[in-house]
């Protein structure tokens, strides 16, 4: 056990300032925009610091004095009041959405929510949810929305919005587990809770916040060493939405015998540690292939696969091939002739009536596969960051892209902000403007096609190419400005010494 640092305090300009030899180093390492005024350097008092080099005095949030008005406001606003205000905003939007749906031509409620509600009503009547056309989700979504039929039609919106708030809570939990200071944690949580893309998705009735909450809970379970529970939830979330299967390989790589030992919880690297280098990942590949069949990896794989096949088997028994096709196989072979953000949409639109050749399928699949493998083996040990860049790449290279897919990586973005060297001004703002600008440009041509009936397919395809380029630019910029930080400390044992 690391011993705590004994610190002394001294009055300076009417305030109490803690002293300690590591205080200056910790504050100096904070990335922009969270730059703080540094307290005067004072010699270390007797005693020792903990091994991660962090300051152990109580009230660590009060040790930092923000340099901007925004950060001062964040320090005053505690997490509970932040959640309450966020909840009030979401309730207000749900109520407003009910009014807009009944008084305006353009509905606030997502069309998917109407599909969910109809499917839930069929379940209440003892029928298959797949009797509702375009319902292509796990029956679990319809099951949890059955109260729409006998409590209120907005039940699902409140449930999804509650999951949205739960994502904010889980973001804070993950960052605190990694030792991120309170001020920087609040800043990161704000990026999720007050992102217009995220707080509207649940209030409009989209189920993605539930998926996001489960994925973050899996990360928490792995960080706490609770692999059984993490595996159960992972099998469930892959059953509900097939895309989290892309996280299987980084999870396997993360369950390194150097990190996970029987009867011991993994040791988490402190957020400001710079002890690990990026090239360690490639050096571990040989170790991985020599020790791939470890107890933790086998158990995680068996448990998650059992849960997935159990849920799939139950619903196959209830709804037969209709369930298997609509909920799973459809998403593996999906091609959408309608306009969407994907660079492939125009080719699919022109050739929708014919069967695609094997070569055409490979051309669209191979770039996706190669990018995923490269990202996984490069960043797997920093697995929250790996999840993020994987998801951005998966969405960008996908054959179908809709706006709700962006939530998949927005829930992971706050987990990487404390390790970013990107300055909000101007580099961060440039990334935001490039991404939103490219999307707005696409939406303009989509509006001209959908609502004005203009033949602008070529312009819309060009806008899709521009949006793809914007996604790649932002992803590469984030990767270049990220400080690689493995989540777990490497525990050297006699076995690992022998392997290495």
In this prediction, residue 493 carries a pLDDT of 56
CB 483 within 8 A of CB 420: yes
In this prediction, residue 362 carries a pLDDT of 72
Under the banding of pLDDT at 50, 70 and 90, the label for residue 8 is: very low
Bigger pLDDT: 262 or 302?
Answer: 302
The pLDDT of residue 64 is above 80: no
Under the banding of pLDDT at 50, 70 and 90, the label for residue 73 is: low
Under the banding of pLDDT at 50, 70 and 90, the label for residue 218 is: very high
In this prediction, residue 104 carries a pLDDT of 85
In this prediction, residue 288 carries a pLDDT of 55
For the segment 474-488, what is each residue's pLDDT rounded down to a tens digit? 999 999 999 988 888
Mean pLDDT of 102-106: 84
In this prediction, residue 269 carries a pLDDT of 85
Q: Which two tokens stand for residue 156?
A: 């699902």
What are the extents of the domains in the chain? 79-271+282-481
In this prediction, residue 18 carries a pLDDT of 40
Listing DSSP states for 115-147 in one string gives: HHHHHHHHHHTTS-GGGSTT--S-HHHHHHTTH
Mean pLDDT of 52-57: 42
Mean pLDDT of 265-289: 62
The pLDDT of residue 330 is above 90: no
CA 145 to chain centre: 24
The pLDDT of residue 177 is above 80: yes
| Least reliable range by pLDDT among 60-69, 74-83, 466-475, 479-488 | 60-69
For the segment 14-38, what is each residue's pLDDT rounded down to a tens digit? 344 344 444 344 334 444 444 434 3
| Least reliable range by pLDDT among 198-212, 321-335, 424-438 | 321-335
Virtual CA dihedral for 304, 308, 311, 312, nearest 10 degrees? -170
Under the banding of pLDDT at 50, 70 and 90, the label for residue 264 is: confident
In this prediction, residue 274 carries a pLDDT of 56
With a pLDDT cut of 70, the percent of the chain lying above it is 76
Under the banding of pLDDT at 50, 70 and 90, the label for residue 162 is: very high
pLDDT, the chain, mean: 81
For the segment 449-463, what is each residue's pLDDT rounded down to a tens digit? 888 888 888 999 999
Bigger pLDDT: 430 or 263?
Answer: 430
Residue carrying the six token digits 């509900």? 240
In this prediction, residue 423 carries a pLDDT of 81
The pLDDT of residue 98 is above 70: yes
3-state secondary structure string across the chain: CCCCCCCCEEEECCEEEECCCCHHHHHHCCCCCCCEECCCCCCCCCCCCCCCCCCCCCCHHHHCEECCHHHHHHHHCCHHHHHHHHHHHHHHHHHHHHHHHHHCCCCCCCHHHHHHHHHHHHHHCCCCHHHCCCCCCCHHHHHHCCHHHHCCCCHHHHHHHHHHHHHHHHHHHHHHHCCCCHHHHHHHHHHHHCCHHHHHHHHCCCCHHHHHHHHHHHHHHHHCCCHHHHHHHHHHHHHHCCHHHHHHHHHHHHCCCCCCCCCCCCCECCCCCCCCCCCHHHHHHHHHHHCCCCHHHHHHHHHHHHHHHHHHHHHHHHHHHHHHHHHHHHHHCCCCCCCCCCCCHHHHHHCCCCCCCHHHHHHHHHHHHHHHHHHHHHHCCCHHHHHHHHHHHHHHCCCCCCHHHHHHHHCCHHHCHHHECCCHHHHHHHHHHHHHHHHHHHHHHHHHHHCCCCCCHHHHHHHHHHHHHHHHHHHHHHHHCECCCCCECCCCCHHHHHHC
With a pLDDT cut of 90, the percent of the chain lying above it is 52
In this prediction, residue 94 carries a pLDDT of 96
In this prediction, residue 478 carries a pLDDT of 96
- Would strands 36-37 and 15-18 be described as parallel, antiparallel, or unpaired? unpaired
| Least reliable range by pLDDT among 1-5, 191-195, 307-311, 489-493 | 1-5
For the segment 117-141, what is each residue's pLDDT rounded down to a tens digit? 999 999 999 999 999 988 999 999 9
In this prediction, residue 353 carries a pLDDT of 66
């Amino acid at each position: 056990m690391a011993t705590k640092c004994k610190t002394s305090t001294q009055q300076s300009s009417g305030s109490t300032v803690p002293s300690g030899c590591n205080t200056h180093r910790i504050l100096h390492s904070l990335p922009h925009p969270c730059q703080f005024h540094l307290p005067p350097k004072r010699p270390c008092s007797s005693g020792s610091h903990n091994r991660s080099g962090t300051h152990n005095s109580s009230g660590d949030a009060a040790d930092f004095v923000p340099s901007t008005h925004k950060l001062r406001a964040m320090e005053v606003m505690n997490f509970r009041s932040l959640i309450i205000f966020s909840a009030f905003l979401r309730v207000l939007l749900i109520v407003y959405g009910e009014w807009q749906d009944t008084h305006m031509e353009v509905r606030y409620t997502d069309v998917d929510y109407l599909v969910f509600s109809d499917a839930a009503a069929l379940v209440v009547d003892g029928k298959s949810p797949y009797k509702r056309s375009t319902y292509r989700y796990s029956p679990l979504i319809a099951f949890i929305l059955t109260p729409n039929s006998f409590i209120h039609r907005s039940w699902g919106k409140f449930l999804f919005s509650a999951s949205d708030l739960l994502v904010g809570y889980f973001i804070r939990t993950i960052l605190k587990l990694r030792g991120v200071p309170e001020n920087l944690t609040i800043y990161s949580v704000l990026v999720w809770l007050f992102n217009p893309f995220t707080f509207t998705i649940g209030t409009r009735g989209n189920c993605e916040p539930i998926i996001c909450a489960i994925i973050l809970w899996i990360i928490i379970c792995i960080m706490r060493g609770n692999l059984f529970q993490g595996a159960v939830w992972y099998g469930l979330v892959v059953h509900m939405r097939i895309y989290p299967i892309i996280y299987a390989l980084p999870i396997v790589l993360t369950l390194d015998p150097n990190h996970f030992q029987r009867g011991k919880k993994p040791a988490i690297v402190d957020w400001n540690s710079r002890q690990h280098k990026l090239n360690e990942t490639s050096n571990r590949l040989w170790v991985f292939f020599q020790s791939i069949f470890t107890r933790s990896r086998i158990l995680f794989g068996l448990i998650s696969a059992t849960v997935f096949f159990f849920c799939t088997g139950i619903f196959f028994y209830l709804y037969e091939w209709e369930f298997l096709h609509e909920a799973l196989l459809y998403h593996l072979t999906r091609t959408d002739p309608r306009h969407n953000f994907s660079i492939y949409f125009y080719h699919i639109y022109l050739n929708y009536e014919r069967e695609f050749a094997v070569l055409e399928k490979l051309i669209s699949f191979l770039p996706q596969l190669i990018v995923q493998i490269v990202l996984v083996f490069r960043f797997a040990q920093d697995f929250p960051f790996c999840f993020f860049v994987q998801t951005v790449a998966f969405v960008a290279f996908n054959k179908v892209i809709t706006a709700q897919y962006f939530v998949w990586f927005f829930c992971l973005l706050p987990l990487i902000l404390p390790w970013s060297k990107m300055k909000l001004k101007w580099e961060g703002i440039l990334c935001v403007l490039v991404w939103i600008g490219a999307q707005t440009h696409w939406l303009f041509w989509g509006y001209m096609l959908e609502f004005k009936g203009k033949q602008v397919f070529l312009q819309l395809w060009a806008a899709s190419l521009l949006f793809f380029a914007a996604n790649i630019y932002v992803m590469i910029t984030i990767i270049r400005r990220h400080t690689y930080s493995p989540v777990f400390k490497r525990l050297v044992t006699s076995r690992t010494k022998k392997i290495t």
